[in-house]
């Protein structure tokens, strides 16, 4: 900045759900924010492609040229989303000496390490609290508060849409398709909800958390992804009968050999687990630190105003740095820890099978599990409603690799005649 008393220039790129609310908070709270920063922040421009009408939007600063706006601010807030042109605008801002605040998890999960390196090289900051868990402070705790600890595992419900769908299926006994429609009508799920339903949104957040927790370059392509599209009302009912609930979890962990794994998948949790109680579109992140022990972060993971709250928090933090001519913490990704192939990741599993109740079906199935080195924990046979004489057999295993469980499923269907099909294979966590 040229003048020490000049306002801190803030540029907003994108005025959609989050951008519009960010503008509102910056404008409506301008005096309060000035007091907290120690200097005035001036919103110098709002870049948007479509006209945006709101009492807090000053039309005289609206532009459709985000690239140009990115070059005339001290802090650039990127709320466009997606990879390009957001990436180019961010790099341009950094190149011009601006610090960047973004909520763009998709971009950070793909190109975060390059962006962090560019910020470091230019001596500016990149803040992204809203990119994981919306309003929930989880990025800063991982990046700063817990940086002195070793983090062993993070398990998070980090996608509101899928949590809402699973919760509605659990509490109302509805089918996936019905609830998805309701989620779209309620405005949680996107018109094209693929990124939510198929787990990619949560996977982006998993990659970002893994970078911060393990100080290693982890990208979305390193994250094993399974969504909730195949979860049925019958799976939910089976979980209920076992005093469990199904949640879509993002799980990143580092084992005692320092191997990292990152995955997003549905998990059966005990009803008593803290994450099992997270309902509706809420998010929660459970962090297990070596010294800190267990920590839980909970709140609204999406929505215009909640997400804007985290964005503006980052803007204030950066503005304070500008006032004091300091920079925020770096994101050093120095670790070379190996990333485990998803097939080698281990878990307990539940297999829900449709079987003909013939003598030997259980014994023959057990032989297949044994052949692949999979130890069975519990077995339960359940009367099914079908009129083809089938019953359901529920088997819960001890911890095995994903590879082993796939081999078991293939072998069961191939070599045990009285197993009609394996209906569901789902991870089971105890805690
Ligand atoms: N919504 C939420 O609850 C959360 C969102 N996020 C993240 O926040 C970011 C913004 O999300 P959200 O507000 O929901 O998205 P929206 O789609 O509502 O808003 C994005 C806006 O950017 C505009 N835009 C697109 N390209 C340009 C461009 N070249 N120049 C200027 N404006 C442009 C879009 O205009 P147009 O519509 O005309 O294309 C749209 O108005 C994303 O990265 C998202 O992942 C993070 C957490 C929660
Ligand atoms: N679509 C996302 C929005 C926030 O990241 C969700 O449902 O959580």
* N-term to C-term CA, the chain: 51
Q: Is the pLDDT of residue 1 over 50?
A: no
Write out the two tokens for 334. Answer: 């120095």
Q: Is the pLDDT of residue 383 over 80?
A: no
| Residues in binding site for NADP(+) | 13-20
Q: Tell me which ligand sits closest to the C-alpha of residue 81.
A: 1
Question: In which band, very low, low, confident or very high, does the pLDDT at 193 lie, cut at 50, 70 and 90?
Answer: confident
Backbone angles phi, psi at 378, to 5 degrees: -140, 155
Work out the burial of residue 256: count CB atoms within 10 Å of its CB; fewer than 13 is exposed, 13-18 middle, 19 or more buried. exposed
- Rounded to an integer, the average pLDDT of 54-61 is 97
Q: Please give the distance, rounded to the nearest whole angstrom, from the Cα atom of residue 159 to the centre of ligand 2.
A: 5
205 is catalytic: yes
pLDDT digits (tens, 9 = 90+) for 330-371: 999 999 999 999 999 999 999 999 999 888 999 999 999 999
Q: Is the pLDDT of residue 191 over 80?
A: no
Give the mutation target among 106, 108, 159, 202 for probing the ligand 2 site: most ligand atoms within 8 A of CB: 159
Q: Please give the distance, rounded to the nearest whole angstrom, from the Cα atom of residue 15 to the centre of ligand 2.
A: 17
Reported ipTM: the value is: 0.98
Per-residue model confidence (pLDDT) at position 386: 64
Per-residue model confidence (pLDDT) at position 5: 81
Q: Please give the distance, rounded to the nearest whole angstrom, from the Cα atom of residue 280 to the centre of ligand 2.
A: 12
- Closest atom, ligand 1, to C-alpha of 14: 22
Q: Tell me which ligand sits closest to the C-alpha of residue 303.
A: 1
Per-residue model confidence (pLDDT) at position 2: 44
Give the mutation target among 190, 196, 197 for probing the ligand 2 site: most ligand atoms within 8 A of CB: 196
pLDDT digits (tens, 9 = 90+) for 237-269: 999 999 999 999 999 999 999 999 999 999 999
Work out the burial of residue 290: count CB atoms within 10 Å of its CB; fewer than 13 is exposed, 13-18 middle, 19 or more buried. exposed
Q: Please report, rounded to a whole number, the percentage of residues in the chain having pLDDT higher than 90.
A: 89
Q: Whose CA is nearest to atom 1 of ligand 1?
A: 303
Q: Please report, rounded to a whole number, the percentage of residues in the chain having pLDDT higher than 70.
A: 97
Per-residue model confidence (pLDDT) at position 317: 98
CB within 6 Å of ligand 1 — which residues?
13-19, 47-50, 66, 79-81, 85, 103-105, 130, 134, 302-303, 307
- Rounded to an integer, the average pLDDT of 205-217 is 98
Radius of gyration for the alpha carbons in the chain, expressed in angstroms and rounded: 24
- Rounded to an integer, the average pLDDT of 372-379 is 97
CB within 6 Å of ligand 2 — which residues?
134, 159-161, 188, 196, 201, 301-302
Selected residue with higher pLDDT from 416 and 32: 32
Handedness of CA 195, 174, 156, 261 (dihedral sign): negative
pTM to 2 decimals? 0.96
Q: Is the pLDDT of residue 188 over 80?
A: no
- Closest atom, ligand 2, to C-alpha of 164: 7
For residue 85, cis peptide bond before it (omega within 30 degrees of 0): yes
- Closest atom, ligand 1, to C-alpha of 18: 13
Q: Please give the distance, rounded to the nearest whole angstrom, from the Cα atom of residue 311 to the centre of ligand 1.
A: 13
Instruction: Single out the catalytic residue among 205, 253, 358, 414.
Output: 205
Write out the two tokens for 121. Answer: 């090289």
Give the mutation target among 200, 302, 309 for probing the ligand 2 site: most ligand atoms within 8 A of CB: 302
Question: In which band, very low, low, confident or very high, does the pLDDT at 384 lie, cut at 50, 70 and 90?
Answer: low
| Residues in binding site for L-homoserine | 190
Q: Please give the distance, rounded to the nearest whole angstrom, from the Cα atom of residue 347 to the centre of ligand 2.
A: 27
Of 107-111, 323-327, 379-383, where does mean pLDDT reach its minimum?
Answer: 379-383
Q: Which domains does the chain have, with CATH numbers?
A: 8-134+304-324 (3.40.50.720), 139-299 (3.30.360.10), 342-428 (3.30.70.260)
Q: Please give the distance, rounded to the nearest whole angstrom, from the Cα atom of residue 161 to the centre of ligand 2.
A: 6
């Amino acid at each position: 900045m040229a003048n020490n008393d000049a306002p801190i220039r803030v540029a907003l790129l994108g005025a959609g759900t989050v951008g519009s609310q960010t503008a509102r908070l910056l404008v409506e709270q301008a005096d309060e924010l000035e007091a907290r920063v120690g200097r005035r922040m001036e919103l110098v421009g709002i870049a948007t492609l479509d006209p945006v009408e709101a009492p807090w939007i000053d039309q005289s600063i609206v532009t459709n040229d985000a690239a140009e706006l990115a070059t005339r601010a001290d802090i650039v807030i990127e709320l466009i989303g997606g990879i390009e042109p957001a990436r180019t605008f961010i790099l341009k801002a950094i190149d011009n000496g601006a610090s960047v605040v973004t909520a763009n998890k998709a971009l950070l999960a793909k190109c975060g390490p390059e962006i962090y390196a560019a910020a470091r090289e230019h001596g500016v900051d990149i803040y992204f609290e809203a990119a994981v868990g919306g309003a929930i402070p989880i990025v800063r705790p991982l990046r700063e508060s817990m940086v002195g600890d070793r983090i062993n595992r993070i398990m998070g419900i980090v996608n509101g849409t899928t949590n809402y769908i699973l919760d509605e299926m659990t509490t109302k006994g509805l089918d996936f398709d019905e609830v998805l429609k309701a989620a779209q009508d309620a405005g949680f799920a996107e018109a094209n909800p693929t990124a939510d339903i198929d787990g990619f949104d949560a996977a982006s957040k998993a990659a970002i958390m893994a970078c911060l927790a393990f100080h290693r370059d982890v990208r979305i392509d390193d994250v094993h992804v399974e969504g909730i599209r195949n979860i049925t009302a019958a799976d939910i009912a089976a979980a209920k009968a076992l005093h469990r609930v199904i949640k879509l979890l993002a799980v990143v962990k580092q084992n005692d050999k320092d191997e990292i794994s990152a995955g997003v998948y549905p998990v059966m949790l005990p009803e008593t687990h803290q994450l099992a109680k997270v309902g509706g579109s809420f998010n929660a992140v459970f962090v297990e630190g070596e010294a800190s022990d267990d920590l839980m972060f909970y709140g609204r993971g999406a929505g215009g105003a909640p997400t804007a709250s985290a964005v503006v928090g980052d803007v204030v933090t950066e503005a304070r740095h500008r006032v004091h001519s300091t920079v925020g913490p770096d994101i050093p990704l120095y670790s070379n820890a190996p990333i485990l192939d998803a097939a080698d990741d281990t878990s307990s599993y539940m297999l829900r099978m449709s079987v003909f109740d013939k003598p030997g079906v259980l014994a023959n199935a057990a032989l297949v599990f044994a052949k692949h080195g999979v130890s069975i924990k519990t077995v339960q046979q359940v009367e099914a409603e079908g009129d083809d004489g089938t019953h359901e057999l529920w088997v819960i295993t001890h911890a095995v690799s994903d590879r082993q469980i796939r081999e078991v499923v293939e072998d069961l269907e191939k070599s045990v005649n009285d197993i009609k099909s394996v209906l569901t294979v789902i991870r089971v966590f105890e805690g």
